[in-house]
Structure 1
Amino acid sequence: MANKLVYVLNGPNLNRLGKREPEIYGSQTLDDIGAMLAARGEALGMTIDMRQSNHEGALVDWLHEAQDGGAHAVLLNAGAYTHTSIALLDAIRSIKVPVIEVHLSNPHTREEFRHKSWVGMGAKGTVAGFGAQSYIVALEAAAGF
């Protein structure tokens, strides 16, 4: 049986992990998180397709591609677009693939403008506040779909 394909999509500034505000986002890089996900995914019978873009349209295109490419699930850390992008909400609602919103920090303990999540309005669920482990928790949830 083929592995289940999981897209892991990361938005703006996540390419700066390990350098950007480590007191909030931790010291692990996006490559470190990708390696953790690949190892856990293999154990769960999942193949990880991890991507990052600072451009909203690329994230929208990849959500569409997840549907068209037969993805099992999408883990989406939309970064700041979480709080601003109706385009991402519409893209999530336009596909049947379940999307799990992921955050390294807990947006509800941060600035007021981070408390509203457009992405979360379309996501199956949200995992936030556990640093890099948030991605692993979301992947394990996706394994149950």
Structure 2
Amino acid sequence: MNILVLHGINLNMFGQRDPAQYGSITLAQIDARLQALGRELGAEVACFQTNHEGELVERIHRAHADGTDAVLINAGAWTHYSYGIRDAIAILRIPVVEVHMSNIHAREAFRHESVLAPVVRGQICGFGVDSYLLGLRAALTMAGEATPG
């Protein structure tokens, strides 16, 4: 099982950015925890981060044909306004799970809406790094259900 984890804009700054919301864990530590859990669950986890919207869209497009079985995405601020990322995700025919470290529904009003939500299978937010780990488990479950056999 191949899982793609997509991290959007500014998420490379985890560990330095607003510790009250995101804690002190770095993106490299998050990726390492996801890859360790993936190995434990029999999955290969590939992680990708960019601060360039077009690069994220291109990576989503590649997931269409590169053997990706499910996607985990934290698009950062793009969650709230990127219809380009939304449309790219809508093309995928594999499970996509949206995750956020903070509870976006308990923050500033502009963060309450996710333009991605209508095209993903589900959303997990507010549990810090555990949002990612729970999301990985959900993505694996959904990908397994979609696999014949």
Give yes or no for TM over 0.5: yes
Match of 1:124 in 2: 121
Aligned residues: 142
Alpha-carbon distance, 1:119 to partner: 1.1
TM-score normalised by length of structure 1 = 0.96
**What SS is found at the alignment partner of 1:144?**
helix
1:48 aligns with 2:45: yes
Match of 1:140 in 2: 137
Please identify runs of 4+ aligned residues in structure 1 that moved more than 6 A.
Answer: none
TM-score normalised by length of structure 2 = 0.93
Alpha-carbon distance, 1:121 to partner: 1.5
Match of 1:64 in 2: 61
- The answer as to whether partners of 1:66 and 1:97 remain within 8 angstroms in 2 is no
Task: Point out where structure 1 has 5 or more consecutive residues left out of the alignment.
Answer: none
1:22 aligns with 2:22: no
**What SS is found at the alignment partner of 1:57?**
helix
- The answer as to whether partners of 1:103 and 1:128 remain within 8 angstroms in 2 is yes
Q: % of aligned pairs identical?
A: 47
Alpha-carbon distance, 1:56 to partner: 0.8
- The answer as to whether partners of 1:6 and 1:74 remain within 8 angstroms in 2 is yes
Match of 1:104 in 2: 101
Task: Point out where structure 2 has 5 or more consecutive residues left out of the alignment.
Answer: 143-149
**What SS is found at the alignment partner of 2:117?**
helix
1:32 aligns with 2:43: no
Cα separation, 2, equivalents of 1:58 and 1:103: 20
Q: What is the CA RMSD across the aligned residues, in angstroms?
A: 0.7
Cα separation, 2, equivalents of 1:108 and 1:142: 22
Cα separation, 1, equivalents of 2:55 and 2:116: 15
What is the identity, as a one-letter code, of the residue corresponding to 2:58? D
Alpha-carbon distance, 1:16 to partner: 0.3
**What SS is found at the alignment partner of 1:118?**
coil
Match of 2:145 in 1: none
Alpha-carbon distance, 1:5 to partner: 0.7
